[in-house]
Structure 1
Amino acid sequence: MTDCNNIKPKPVGLKSACANCSVLELCLPLGLNDFEVKRLDDLIVQRVRVRKGNTLYRQGDPLHALYAVRLGFFKTTLTSEDGREQVTGFQMSGEILGMDAISDDRHSCNAVALEDSEVCPLQFSQLERLSRDLPSLQHNLNKLMSREIVKDHNLLLMMGNMNSDERLAAFFLNLSQRLSLRGYSPFNFILRMRREEIGSYLGLRLETISRGIARLRELGLLEVHAREVKILDLEGLKGLIAGCGHHGTPL
């Protein structure tokens, strides 16, 4: 993996106009008026392109900015002392990267692009100052941090209460719902991550992932060919995990 901070960012236009962004209603400016969006937009000097496989930031790096994902897909990982990687999440357009560093000013994980991506950097010190002037922006930041806590709780619930098939069904349902919110098909999509990465995230071995996909196929719930997913029975997926208290909150 290549560290994005050690390569010259590719400029993608001089400015990133939040008001014209396709994921405005999912990102930090949600609910801000035109004047407030303009002030937030002024913090973004230019978007940064992160090539597939490159690292936006690494575990232990100092906090400089939060990153709004404009295009593409990322994974966040933890690296153990013996070099093993644990996937902690998958992030797509309209979501924010970097909040893991707010508590102690250093990133606790790595953020790696799973496809060619673009992010909008928001210098954190400037964002803090602006949020003091704009209560609606501070409210949005608080909501985003609360969402991260809920996501962690849902992951713990899934690990503790769901069997392997239910975890896999919840994963596909979650992806379907998040993509639908962005205007994509909830029934047909491409996996940006490898099966090994899905297994790491769900706490399952690769062979368990493969068997689980086969069982979901046998139940007539979905088909998976390489990385192409076709959901055949969305309500059936929901029904499979209904007894576990999962209601589609982003994992």
Structure 2
Amino acid sequence: MDPGTNVLDLSQLRRSCSSCALSELCLPAGIGNDDLERLDTAVRDKRTLDRGGMLYRDGDPFEALYVVRSGSLKTFVLDDSGDVQILGFHLPGEIIGFDALASNQHVSQAEALERSSICELPYARLQQVTSEVPALHRQLMRVISREVIEEHRHLVMMGRQQAQEQLAIFLKSLADRYQRLQRDSTALTLSMSRYDIANYLGLVVETVSRLFSRLEEMGVLEVNRKSVRICRPDLLAELCRSSGVPASKRRDAG
């Protein structure tokens, strides 16, 4: 046997999907070693973005999809007057870049909210791999479907008349995504600013700050700058379903 055949390629191992902590989120269950090797050939080395760094801009040609490996990003569009509308916030294990699929160029922008690591999936190579690995193709379709569902939730959230309900839904959604990452879903770190949250929800920043204070007074949250502890997940869930005071409070008042 050639002694060189067993030499471990450390650079390959560091970027290998099989050694990535996010593999259970990104990959279909039961994917075999041969299929993992095919996928590894499609993944470019990790990219690191500092806070405020741009992953892509409006008008950039479509070349790849991107997996958030660590950190977080926001996607947004600019209108003709230069005003920002935030479309979403993206956590580890989530894929971004789907906005360019239709026109072969990006129609939004992606910016790092903190120092973040990105896996780049060149789309031409990804198409080839998914044609060879049907389970991976189905997983990609599930991810795209999840993105569509998140967009629908955002539209529904924007249509809520009660600002308190909007913020509650946003925090509950973030907690659910933390749980999917096997993080403590009651201890959130808001990498986005209050302004970003307000923009995303279609509110003014003063309203968001006031709502955080109100939820603290109600005993739902404890807020320390960017750290938010959900003290009463049951009350938060209840606020997501009603546009007023939680039913328990209404019963007490009655």
Query: TM-score if structure 1 supplies the norm length?
Result: 0.88
What are structure 1's unaligned runs of at least 5 residues? 1-11, 245-251
Instruction: Provide the aligned length of Structure 1 versus Structure 2.
Output: 232
Q: 1:181 aligns to what?
A: 180
Letter paired with 1:116:
R
Q: CA deviation at 1:13?
A: 4.6
**1:51 touches 1:116 (CA, 8 Å); kept in 2?**
yes
More displaced 10-residue stretch of structure 1: 143-152 or 198-207: 143-152
Q: 2:130 aligns to what?
A: 131
What are structure 2's unaligned runs of at least 5 residues? 1-9, 244-254
More displaced 10-residue stretch of structure 1: 29-38 or 118-127: 29-38
Q: 2:241 aligns to what?
A: 242
Larger radius of gyration: 2
Deviations 1:113-158 (A, max 9, x none): 0111111101001111221222111111111111111111111111
Q: CA deviation at 1:36?
A: 1.4
Q: 2:99 aligns to what?
A: 100
**1:189 touches 1:228 (CA, 8 Å); kept in 2?**
yes
Q: 2:195 aligns to what?
A: 196
How many angstroms apart in 1 are the aligned matches of 2:94 and 2:161? 26
Alignment of 1:69-88 (within 5 A): 69-88=68-87
Letter paired with 1:128:
Q
More displaced 10-residue stretch of structure 1: 55-64 or 13-22: 13-22
**2:42 touches 2:129 (CA, 8 Å); kept in 1?**
no
**1:13 touches 1:47 (CA, 8 Å); kept in 2?**
no
**2:97 touches 2:106 (CA, 8 Å); kept in 1?**
yes
How many angstroms apart in 2 are the aligned matches of 1:34 and 1:175? 33
How many angstroms apart in 2 are the aligned matches of 1:229 and 1:99? 30
How many angstroms apart in 2 are the aligned matches of 1:141 and 1:178? 18
**2:28 touches 2:135 (CA, 8 Å); kept in 1?**
no
SS of residue in 2 equivalent to 1:90: strand
Q: Does 1:112 align with 2:95?
A: no
SS of residue in 1 equivalent to 2:45: coil
Letter paired with 2:44:
V
**1:76 touches 1:87 (CA, 8 Å); kept in 2?**
yes
SS of residue in 1 equivalent to 2:228: strand
Letter paired with 1:30:
P
Letter paired with 1:72:
G
Letter paired with 2:17:
C
Letter paired with 2:52:
G
How many angstroms apart in 1 are the aligned matches of 2:222 and 2:149? 29
Q: Does 1:30 align with 2:28?
A: yes
Q: CA deviation at 1:162?
A: 4.8
**2:165 touches 2:242 (CA, 8 Å); kept in 1?**
no
Deviations 1:16-61 (A, max 9, x none): 110111111111x232222212211111131111111100000111
How many angstroms apart in 2 are the aligned matches of 1:115 and 1:156? 26
Query: TM-score if structure 2 supplies the norm length?
Result: 0.87
**2:77 touches 2:84 (CA, 8 Å); kept in 1?**
yes
**1:68 touches 1:95 (CA, 8 Å); kept in 2?**
yes
Q: CA deviation at 1:243?
A: 4.3
The alignment-based identity, stated in percent, is 35
Q: 2:251 aligns to what?
A: none
**1:56 touches 1:112 (CA, 8 Å); kept in 2?**
yes
Deviations 1:74-107 (A, max 9, x none): 0001011111111110001100011111111111
The structure in which a higher percent of residues are helix is: 2
How many angstroms apart in 1 are the aligned matches of 2:11 and 2:193? 31
Letter paired with 1:223:
E
How many angstroms apart in 2 are the aligned matches of 1:113 and 1:104? 24
Q: 1:50 aligns to what?
A: 49
How many angstroms apart in 1 are the aligned matches of 2:64 and 2:164? 38
**Which 4+ stretches in 1 moved above 3 angstroms?**
12-15
SS of residue in 1 equivalent to 2:24: helix
SS of residue in 1 equivalent to 2:237: helix
